[in-house]
Structure 1
Amino acid sequence: MIQIALIGLTAVLIAIQFKGGKSEYGIYITLAAAILIFCFGINKMDMIIAGIKEIQGYIHIKETYITLLIKIVGITYVAEFASSLCKDAGYGAISNQIEVVGKLTILTISMPVLMALLRTIDEFLT
């Protein structure tokens, strides 16, 4: 985590230096640092997936639900990453649209789980 913080702080300090004259360089530096940090975060996903699969072994959850959970986490991470980059570049409207589409995508993907839950509730009530 210290490496990530140092990369982020270094990029911000360098981007601040370019803010007065060549502001587009600051955006490119920020983008490069964000992609580098994103790659570090993706490397952590292997450990998370292994942990989720271990939990799956204990509580016997269907594989489709685990896959769905991993997809939702990935969509959230990518949408937040892209939204933050757009917001930092000064394009708030695009940032907001990315967030909305990310939320709608998660809702769409999770619809089968919601329907299964509703069927289960209906079976208990009838």
Structure 2
Amino acid sequence: MEIIQIVGLGLLVTILTLIIKEQKPMFAFLLAAFTGIAIFLFLIGKISAVIGVLEDLAVKSNVNMVFLKTILKIIGVAYIAEFGAQIVRDAGQESIASKIELSGKVLIMVMAIPIITVIIETVVKLLPA
């Protein structure tokens, strides 16, 4: 029941942040940011296990590994951009957070071009001439 530990840590840090915020707002922000990083590091093992399963499935189904790696990179960019935007938003910088999210979306689009190209080429081949 890792989720109970994560939620418990989140609640504890939230209470501490609210208490500290009155006296030292910078420490409250740092506490929240480091807690987010700690939770992310806690989940790295779970993420790597999921990636391993997906790679095994891709090998068994003869899927080109380039596509799987590209999709995993896209997912990684999405999570990292969201995580970064949330931390910046916690610091009260909404405009910078929205720029981080926009950058993530543009990078995802750029990384998806090879997959989109293959899909379009496959659909064109299936259409009668």
Under a length normalisation based on structure 1, what TM-score does the superposition of the two structures give? 0.94
Q: CA deviation at 1:72?
A: 1.1
The residue matched to 1:76 in structure 2 has which SS?
helix
Q: CA deviation at 1:57?
A: 3.1
Residue 38 of structure 2, aligned match among 15, 33, 36: 36
Unaligned runs of 5+ in 1: none
The residue matched to 1:72 in structure 2 has which SS?
helix
Contact 2:59 / 2:65 at 8 angstroms: preserved in 1? no
2 CA distance for matches of 1:121 and 1:110?
17
1 CA distance for matches of 2:80 and 2:43?
11
The residue number in structure 1 matching 2:61 is 59
Letter in 1 for 2:99: Q
Residue 27 of structure 1, aligned match among 26, 29, 45: 29
**Which 4+ residue blocks in structure 1 deviate beyond 6 angstroms?**
none
- 1:94-123 superposed Cα distances (whole Å, 9 cap, x missing partner): 100000100110110010000111111111
The residue number in structure 2 matching 1:85 is 87
Cα RMSD for the two superposed structures: 1.1
2 CA distance for matches of 1:19 and 1:29?
10
1 CA distance for matches of 2:78 and 2:43?
13
Larger CA deviation: 1-10 vs 88-97:
1-10
Q: CA deviation at 1:51?
A: 1.3
Identity of aligned residues (%): 26
Aligned length: 126
Residue 11 of structure 1, aligned match among 13, 22, 25: 13
Under a length normalisation based on structure 2, what TM-score does the superposition of the two structures give? 0.92
2 CA distance for matches of 1:57 and 1:63?
8
